[in-house]
Structure 1
């Protein structure tokens, strides 16, 4: 009897010497033994836990969830994160104890206080979210002003278009780019592709208006050997197959003849096709972007464009404003192309201020493409490091003919001055957004600008 008491005391001494919280229950969840450290973790004296049910303690909020039923169910070691009434977080591990017959007899659980670790984890997650947010904002700011595709977006409407492009880049949704010829639809399509999960895969551009009607199917879908007279003996892979895994960009989709529209619609819907002369169906995985300078809705009304194809393409429409409405971007674009073509042709060039003013007042009917071509022309043809008015083509110099008409018209000086003043005010109105900016530019007061606008009917 004394020997048994001695062994029992030794076991208790060993149990209570452990710094970890250890708790032993029977199969009913009744607590049989606990260590002295339990009180500091759960805020309950060990004597008040002996004989209590873990199920009752969970109901009272002492700790939750409990691990005993999980060990009983799985009959193997289990680990959970437990919360205490004191707001602590514990990593609790439950271990099944078997009797001599191999049957489940007891459940022993031990825990580690991970409250600080959980706080650190939460902090790091918050920091990660904040860093991701900052990174996204920085990326957006870079994109709004200049990016590696050469897209300038300081103008408010252009910023909106670029923000939508950013949002849709990450998801495989059909995008329809709208805008006049030369506004940069192809550049924006490449931008969406390069910022998408498919950026490392092909970007295949198909100009629907440039492929001869009789060859469209063969170029678009490809053909098998011997399909028609003049075909390659080994056949040919179509453009759609080249887009596998990447982006298929259908430019000038409004130029697509009606007879081909139904075939393109079927292909877009099913993402499968037959080569010309082929009998085996081919599947292709791609992301679709389309573009047009045509009013597709009007073409639909005129029965020149299929309504079902229009709605299939027009999931996310993005309109790119013409350059004449992007006054805030013109200077940035001029400087960008000046830098690009100076490096390309190894000629350092700068613009005279008078040239810059002429370019700012141009209508840019050809949009960004026209501006880009003009800048390259000026850099190649100018003989001086400073590009002057004399280097500009005649169509880009305003005022010469108008001044001649003033001289030959025999108008009174007062009338001529009023015409000049009206033209200067009107040009300034087109360039600057507010009357305050116009006043600052012209060197007069803001009330004077308002009064003169009213006098000349400038709105």
Structure 2
């Protein structure tokens, strides 16, 4: 059989294959192509045969070349090639030797355009899933590191007992109290001691979300639902709370229109994302909180009565710090220790500073106390924090401040002053006898008054 016959036979076999196959010589001149090559590159076979692959690359038919890579490595190569039409091909180039010389280069391809696009899509999905997981973990673990409560006062002890009791069941809880009393901490305490403790704790500050964005943030949205919507849409806070606890803080800040939406969610546990048509279900335990008097808001028609009753199943009112005098010294010592450790600074409050702090009315409650202690720890130039280091507003005469600013009755003010004096005397003197001598009253009176104010 002649060489030409052998070549014709090989050519017939080549044309019978459905894969894209190109055969070049060692100089890169195309000698033969399969029928499938025309469809892959969009060029007739007769316009490729006899031409240099280097010229075809310059014309933008494909890049990079199997020929140059095989010649460089002298072995089988596999790589991704891009066609002039933007297709992605997985190319395999094989060297063919004759009498020890490289005489041909055979390359074949598989269209992997869809696979590459799928890979990109999967990568995007993985990124989105990682983002959602990250956001969920952030929201779940946000500020959940402090489990302990300092509760020496009878009022706070009652609050803690109630919180532990209601934590066992999925009843709606409404936390009431002034700003800074620790409503969010009580909410987290309930969550962490509930059957949902392994689920997310999602805190929604109703007063921090603009009214026109509330629905999108709370319920989430679908892609393209409005200008600026993120690609792929976004999960809402309510959906993130699935399986856990949804904590709605600053409820009084909700507009009437948004109150309707929240009420419907609480009642049905179903919702639509903004721009969505799929009804979604969510399972969460609800805890609400506000520093406003919702009963008065209902009377003023600024808060829906049906929403109020839906929220107010188990109300828990947290007392302000000024009515928790027994908790003040333990709280002060706790936060001094915490911030000293955090900033690696050894700080101790002088006794006069502690007594001055005991006389404050703490309008900002525990939050104000935390901010002040942190400030004192980091700004004091010495290990002993003295009166000179206190901000001016905390150094003014406590009694004058009490008389000028307090809205309490005279008897209540006098009781606070008496308690302050007794507490100060108790710190200074070791026995009730010495306290009586110092204060100019009888020892039984000292004992009785200490018991009255719970001073230990």
Q: What are the Cα deviations for residues 303-361 of structure 1, in whole angstroms up to 9, with x where unaligned? A: 00000000000000000000000000000100110111011100011010000000000
Task: Name 1:165's counterpart in structure 2.
Answer: 163
Match of 2:230 among 224, 229, 232: 232
- Rounded Cα–Cα distance in structure 1 between residues aligned with 2:153 and 2:244: 30
- Rounded Cα–Cα distance in structure 2 between residues aligned with 1:196 and 1:340: 27
- Rounded Cα–Cα distance in structure 1 between residues aligned with 2:257 and 2:421: 46
Task: Name 1:289's counterpart in structure 2.
Answer: 287
- SS at 1:294's partner residue? coil
- Which segment is superposed worse, 441-450 or 168-177? 441-450
- Rounded Cα–Cα distance in structure 2 between residues aligned with 1:399 and 1:293: 29
Equivalenced residues, count = 285
Match of 2:346 among 348, 361, 366: 348
- SS at 2:316's partner residue? strand
Match of 2:441 among 430, 445, 449: 445
- Rounded Cα–Cα distance in structure 2 between residues aligned with 1:224 and 1:182: 36
Give 1:197 deviation, angstroms.
1.1
Task: Name 2:241's counterpart in structure 1.
Answer: 243
- SS at 2:346's partner residue? coil
- Rounded Cα–Cα distance in structure 1 between residues aligned with 2:415 and 2:302: 44
- Rounded Cα–Cα distance in structure 1 between residues aligned with 2:275 and 2:434: 70
The answer to whether the Cα contact below 8 Å between 2:360 and 2:398 also exists between their aligned partners in 1 is no
1:163 to 1:361, Cα distance in 2 relative to 1, 3 A: same
Q: Which stretches in structure 2 are left out of the alignment for 5+ residues?
A: 1-144, 401-412, 427-431, 450-456
Task: Name 1:81's counterpart in structure 2.
Answer: none
Q: What are the Cα deviations for residues 9-33 of structure 1, in whole angstroms up to 9, with x where unaligned? A: xxxxxxxxxxxxxxxxxxxxxxxxx
Q: Does 1:427 align with 2:422?
A: no
Match of 2:355 among 354, 357, 372: 357
Task: Name 1:191's counterpart in structure 2.
Answer: 189
Q: TM-score w.r.t. structure 1 length?
A: 0.58
1:220 to 1:446, Cα distance in 2 relative to 1, 3 A: farther
The answer to whether the Cα contact below 8 Å between 1:360 and 1:431 also exists between their aligned partners in 2 is no
The answer to whether the Cα contact below 8 Å between 2:244 and 2:285 also exists between their aligned partners in 1 is yes
Give 1:400 deviation, angstroms.
9.4
1:359 to 1:170, Cα distance in 2 relative to 1, 3 A: same
Q: What is the CA RMSD across the aligned residues, in angstroms?
A: 2.8
The answer to whether the Cα contact below 8 Å between 1:439 and 1:449 also exists between their aligned partners in 2 is no
Q: TM-score w.r.t. structure 2 length?
A: 0.59
Task: Name 1:381's counterpart in structure 2.
Answer: 379
Give 1:162 deviation, angstroms.
1.0
The answer to whether the Cα contact below 8 Å between 1:223 and 1:237 also exists between their aligned partners in 2 is yes
- Rounded Cα–Cα distance in structure 2 between residues aligned with 1:156 and 1:333: 15
Q: Does 1:322 align with 2:306?
A: no
Give 1:182 deviation, angstroms.
0.3
The answer to whether the Cα contact below 8 Å between 2:203 and 2:247 also exists between their aligned partners in 1 is yes
